[in-house]
């Protein structure tokens, strides 16, 4: 059944999920283990990793590896541990992420942290694991977790937007390279969640807002989209429909085409025009 979703999702194959101790990463790791894959869950906090392994449970073959994805040496250690304990990797999910970087004129340390985890963490994962996946004769699957903020660029946490924009560009380029090198045997996909009640949100909101999806809903949508062969896995939520997302993305694109001010969606002079566009 799992192979019908993607040929890399065969029982007995090996999957690595970074940021896998909570949220979307944990929900995806559970699904992978439920399909019979051997799973390595990588994350920073050892206590959270132990809890994640217990939660996945049910006889699944799961290992955990404390990993700082912003550190290439730590990702090397992750790859070595997986090779030694589980074998060659067929599924890679670069999901670890953080926020709170700051706007363009603030918080240099925050910028270093957010770009280190969100962008270089994905680069490290891709460059350490994917060449071996491409060089093998096995199907492979790469999922990189982006964000709508990397597409529509809402003002506020510009560092986060930049990191997620970079993931989009990286994953697009990776998908094209893999198509050329493997003719579709190894594929890359960009997961773009909607508002999801993850650990990052729980720090600010103790209860799930009605508008938010659960991580399990995102995982379900992810696997449905993989079965469809989608590259852009653009998730809705309980407030935002696919149609709304498409219109917001289109408006942002037309800022350049029509030479409007940057981020005109949030410019008071364009407020009425944007509202009319969304209604139309």
Q: List residues with catalytic annotation.
A: 160, 164
Answer positive or negative: Cα dihedral of 88, 93, 99, 102. positive
Mention every residue, 6+ apart, whose C-beta is less than 8 A from residue 39: 14, 15, 16, 17, 20, 29, 32, 33, 56, 60, 61, 62, 63
Question: Which tokens go with 20?
Answer: 């896998």
Rounded Cα–Cα distance for residues 233 and 220 (Å): 11
Question: Which tokens go with 76?
Answer: 């090397």
Q: How far is CA 95 from CA 26, 111, 182, 267, in A?
A: 10, 18, 23, 32
């Amino acid at each position: 059944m799992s192979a019908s979703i993607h040929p890399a999702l065969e029982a007995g194959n090996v999957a690595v999920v970074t940021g896998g101790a909570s949220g979307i990463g944990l929900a995806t790791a559970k699904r992978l283990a439920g399909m019979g894959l051997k799973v390595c869950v990588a994350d920073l906090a050892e206590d959270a990793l132990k809890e994640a392994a217990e939660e996945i449970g049910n006889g699944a073959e799961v290992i955990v590896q404390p990993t700082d994805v912003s550190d290439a040496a730590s990702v090397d250690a992750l790859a070595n541990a997986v090779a030694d304990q589980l074998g060659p990797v067929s599924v890679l999910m670069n999901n670890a992420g953080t926020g709170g970087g700051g706007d363009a004129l603030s918080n240099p340390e925050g910028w270093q942290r957010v770009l280190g985890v969100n962008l270089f963490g994905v680069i490290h994962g891709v460059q350490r694991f994917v060449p071996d996946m491409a060089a093998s004769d096995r199907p492979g699957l790469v999922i990189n977790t982006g964000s709508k903020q990397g597409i529509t660029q809402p003002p506020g946490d510009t560092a986060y937007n930049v990191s997620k924009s970079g993931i989009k560009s990286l994953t697009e380029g990776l998908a094209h390279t893999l198509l050329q090198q493997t003719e579709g045997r190894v594929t890359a996909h960009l997961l773009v969640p909607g508002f999801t009640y993850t650990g990052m949100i729980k720090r600010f909101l103790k209860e799930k807002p009605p508008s938010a999806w659960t991580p399990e809903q995102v995982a379900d949508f992810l696997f449905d989209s993989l079965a469809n062969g989608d590259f852009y896995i653009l998730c809705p939520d309980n407030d935002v429909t696919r149609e709304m997302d498409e219109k917001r993305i289109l408006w942002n694109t037309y800022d350049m085409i029509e030479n409007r001010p940057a981020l005109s969606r949030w410019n008071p002079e364009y407020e009425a025009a944007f509202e009319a566009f969304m209604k139309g």
